[in-house]
Structure 1
Amino acid sequence: MMLQTIVFAAARSRAHGPTAALWHAVELHRPAAEVDGACELTLCGALARVSPEQQWPVAAFDVCPACVPLAR
């Protein structure tokens, strides 16, 4: 039996109208170097730009409340 580790990257969404930019979680299915700065679909369904220099979970207050439980 093979054990698969799920790796999450941090991604920053853009402020959109009245909503603020938030940090989201993205499940990586390829090396982080391949998604450097690319927009990806987050766990909550938003599009956000991956920030490989940031680790998930992000130590910030502006974190997506929907991504937090999904990334556990």
Structure 2
Amino acid sequence: MMLQTTVHAAAQSRAHGTTAALWHAVELHRPVAEIDGACELALCGSLARVDPEQTWPRTGADVCPACAALSR
């Protein structure tokens, strides 16, 4: 039997107009060390830049509600 785990990384989107930057969850299929700073597709479909110094799950008002629900 093979055990499969899903790892999520924290990524922050850019603020757009009056919209604040949000923390998103990105599903990783490679080690965090291989993330090159480019934007990645978040669980909710937004593009966000992974921050290897941050962990997921995040808490607070600046967390994408869709990513929070989809990462459970």
TM-score with structure 2 length normalisation?
0.92
5+ residue gaps in structure 2? none
Q: How many residues align?
A: 72
Would you tell me which structure has more strand in proportion to its own residues?
1
Partners in 2 of 1:9 and 1:36 — Cα distance?
13
Alignment of structure 1 residues 1-72 onto 2, 5 Å: 1-72=1-72
TM-score with structure 1 length normalisation?
0.92
Give identity over the alignment, percent.
Answer: 76
Partners in 1 of 2:32 and 2:64 — Cα distance?
21
Partners in 2 of 1:32 and 1:53 — Cα distance?
10
The ranges of structure 1 where at least 4 consecutive aligned residues each deviate by more than 4 angstroms after the TM superposition are none
Superposed CA deviations along residues 16-42 of structure 1, whole A, max 9, x for unmatched, are 122110000000000001114221000
Q: 8 Å contact 1:36–1:51 — kept in the other structure?
A: no
Q: Aligned-pair RMSD on alpha carbons?
A: 1.1
Once the two structures are TM-superposed, the CA of residue 58 in structure 1 deviates from its matched residue by 1.5
